[in-house]
Structure formats: structure tokens, C-alpha cells
Amino acid sequence: MYIIPAIDIIGGKCVRLTQGDYNQKKEYHDSPLEMAKRFEDAGIKRLHLVDLDGAKAKKIINKEVLSSVTSGTSLKVDFGGGVQSDEDIALAFELGAHQLTGGSIAVKNPTLFESWIAKYGGEKIILGADAKDRKIAISGWEETTSMDLIDFIKDYHAKGISYVICTDVAKDGLLQGPSVDLYKEILQEIPNIKLIASGGVSSVKDLEELQKTGVYGTIVGKAYYEGRISLEELASF
């Protein structure tokens, strides 16, 4: 199981939101590059980089941060937040992103999202499947659709998607444990999907539980930044 630290960016700084709420923001570090280097030095290979300013503006805002992290480290960066046009996805890859995560766009503009899968390949595009009570949630989780989570993932898997980041909105940023049963169910239904768990991790025990489910990777954010899990413990995975 890959450990994938998350760096969320507002105003060029590392922050975390609680349950996607911009009013519940906590700053952790001035330099995303310095933070990324810490992860790299610990032997971590991947990074989940989210442009929260971009998510609001619906276009990439923190270009310099993406560029500095991809050129200043060897981390495989999956980038998300605000990529909603052909120009922006081309720019993200140009700036060194290894993969691109699309969530709301996959719901609101499936034709465009499918064209990206066709152009860049299912290995390069990650489906962001955020769920609230098993229904797909979009637009920073402000909107819950009537789409069933597992059906949504199945549909895009059939269209060529290999990687899925699944966040249970109810768990995110609360440090109350991840949705282990939900991930087990997804993997039972779609066994060959590369499922990345996100949200709720609070301890090494949570990571061990997730590893047993067979998820491909787990995104770790607040638990590390709040000192619940050390860098050495993350590196041990």
C-alpha cells in the first residue's frame, strides 16, 4: 500500500480544511516544497497536491507551487483542484504533474472528462469519487448528487479509468477513522481497480486496517500534520 501524503494549498501555503470548509482552515507550513522534500527524504514516492484556490476559481492558480514541487523533488505528484479545461490539464502535465485528479468535472462534464481519458490514458487520469451517504458529492462537497458511488466508479472503470481516490465526506479531517467497510465493498465489486482511500486516518492502526483491505494507496493529511502519525511511521509502509 502506498502512503500518499496530501499537501493542500491556499495562497501558496500548506493548509488543511475540515470537511472541505474554507472557514475551517488551518495553516501548517509556508513552503509546500520544503514539506514535499521532507516526505521525499523519508522514502515516500507519491504526493497528492491540491490547489484549493484553483478549486474555487475553476482554473489552476498555484502554478508556481506545482512547478517547484515537481522540479525540486522526484515525487510522483497527482494534482487536483480547478482543472476544468483542455488548456489547464495540458498545463498541469507541462508543469510536471504525474497524474491528474478530476472529481466534479467527471459529473458535470463527462464528455470532456472522457476525452481526457482517451487522450492521456486511464493511468494518467485519476477519478475523484467523493461520497456522502454513498452518493457522489461534488463542488467542494456542497452538492450531493443522486448518483450511487459504486455505480459511478464502475461506469468510469468500464471507460478506462484505473485509479480512483474515494473520500467519505463524513470522515474527512475529523481524525475519527476511515471508511474501511466502504472500501472493502468497492474492492469486492470492482476487484481490479487501484483504489486510493482518503479521509479519516488518525493513527497507524487505521493504516494497518486499510492495508488489510487491499487498497492501492492511502492519502494521509491531518494525522501527520497534527502529529498523530510520525514521518518514520509513514515511511515504514
- Give catalytic residues, as residue numbers: 8, 130
Question: Residues 218, 28: contact at Cβ < 8 Å?
Answer: no
The shares of helix, strand and coil residues in the chain, as percent rounded to the nearest 5, are 40, 30, 30
CA-based nearest residue to 4, from 46, 49, 64, 67? 46
Cα 4–Cα 35–Cα 177 angle in degrees, nearest 5: 40
- Total residue count of the chain as it appears in this document: 237
In angstroms, the CA 221 to CA 168 distance is: 14
- DSSP 3-state assignment of 156? helix
- The neighbouring-strand residues paired with 5 are 220
Written as one letter, the residue type at 100 is: L
Question: Residues 125, 117: contact at Cβ < 8 Å?
Answer: yes
